[in-house]
Structure 1
């Protein structure tokens, strides 16, 4: 049975849906929204049905209070996927979204309905903890960090009214990812593909390679020119890597 996505606040359809292809569920970065992944749907539209999560506290959900823990975000997204058992599901997350995707994947495997695979981008492995406390600092520190990462259009950061709207969700997201602690236990069995910008100062290639330790399945690492938001300038290349990963994840197992 397919989930009726028309009634879901959490999940958006991106692009044309065909109903008989693998699903790719995209999870945004801190401060990000589902629309960030629209370019991906343009490049993948012929092979994959693309969806994106919309966290509370932004865009059409801006009147809802944002969630402040990775666990709660993962639980709520996991609840949306309970009927997504009719077709292969691949999870894809960038930065904070990678950790949420990992935790959603763990929950799906616990339920006996594993994802076909997980694609992570721009995030060190969950077990590599780095002490961070940006969410406790002032607005200007938060804005400076986002500006440095180049993940948000510069014009938005100069618009006081827009800033007032996005800062609560941005701070909540930073609180969620900075207070996240990996819980040792059963790791994923599904394959994992990790993507990273070669010059990403927030997630080094070695730290992203450590995702290998979080699956008993196949692991692949792909690097791209650029920094933390290498995707913004590389959507066709990123889409090609994701298409190859999805094809690998969903290929029939030959005897």
Structure 2
């Protein structure tokens, strides 16, 4: 069973003596359980905390945010309660945008610089554009199927679909309406990760994350599609370890 520091964060493998904390931000419609196994797969030096957005699993009845900016602000407030060690963010798809906006809000408060932002399967904020996606059930289901991943199978179950679709529509609506707010770039390095077979984010898209930081930005491609980490979790773990425990994170 996961431990909860507050309403927002779940830790499936507690490591109170870890040197670094990795905070994971799920994709649209996603929940903390998407990262359930990551803590056990990573070295003992890293503790994984996962953001549990409102409207899913044990937060099913909680108030949903109006937009990405509000979600980032709420998440930043929750993460800000636990800035007791060097911290890195991993955000997947919509989660990468939320992680970036939360990092900008928290940047002045970090006792040491944010170790790294891992921006996964998402275009850089300044290049996010509406897809013109209709949010009716059939279109949402087809869109999710086109991305693949385990979540698409849930929508084939009628009972689960009734639970998942409302929050999925809401999240996709926030993605459609997102517009980045001008502000200072991050001071931490960024690793932009894409799946080689993901049609939604190209190498060029990933490289544009470099404009979001005053530090280094590198792009990594892994085998798979939009949800590449579901099929090759150990490849992702190696990349995370490289970005967090090597000399590039020497300030840790």
TM-score in terms of structure 2 length: 0.92
Closer, same or farther: CA 232–7 of 1 in aligned 2, 3 Å: closer
Residues 130 and 154 (structure 1 numbering): CA distance in 2 closer, same or farther, change over 3 Å?
Answer: closer
1:120–1:195: 8 Å Cα contact kept in structure 2?
A: yes
Task: Report the equivalent of 1:251.
Answer: 250
Counterpart Cα distance in 1 of 2:242 and 2:66: 34
Q: 1:37 is matched with which residue? A: 35
Give 1:141's aligned residue.
139
The residue that corresponds to 1:129 in the other structure is 128
Q: Does 1:74 align with 2:63?
A: no
C-alpha displacement of 1:109: 1.3
The 1:112/1:36 distance shift into structure 2, 3 A limit, reads closer
Q: Secondary structure at the match of 2:126?
A: coil
Aligned equivalents of 1:85 and 1:62: distance in 2? 27
**Aligned-pair distance for 1:123?**
0.4
Deviates more, 1:51-60 or 1:103-112: 103-112
Of residues 91, 94, 98, the one that matches 1:93 is 91
Instruction: Tell me the residue number matched to 2:205.
Output: 207
Pairs within 5 Å for 1:80-119:
80-111=78-109, 113=111, 114-119=113-118
Alignment of 1:153-172 (within 5 A): 153-172=151-170
Higher RCO (CA 8 Å, separation ≥ 6 residues) = 1
Task: Report if the CA contact (8 A) 1:119-1:192 is conserved.
Answer: yes
Gaps of 5+ in 1: none
Q: Counterpart of 1:51?
A: 49
Corresponding residue SS for 1:182: coil
The structural deviation recorded for 1:211 is: 0.3
The 2-side partners of 1:84 and 1:170 are apart by: 28
Aligned to 2:220: 222
Q: 2:63 aligns with which of 56, 62, 65?
A: 65
Deviation at 1:86, TM superposition (A): 2.1
8 Å Cα contact 2:188/2:215 also seen in 1: yes
- Residues of 1 paired with 2:99 and 2:120: CA distance? 10
Runs of 4+ in 1 over 4 A off after TM superposition: none
- For structure 2, the 5+ residue unaligned runs are none
Residues 1:120 and 2:119 aligned together: yes
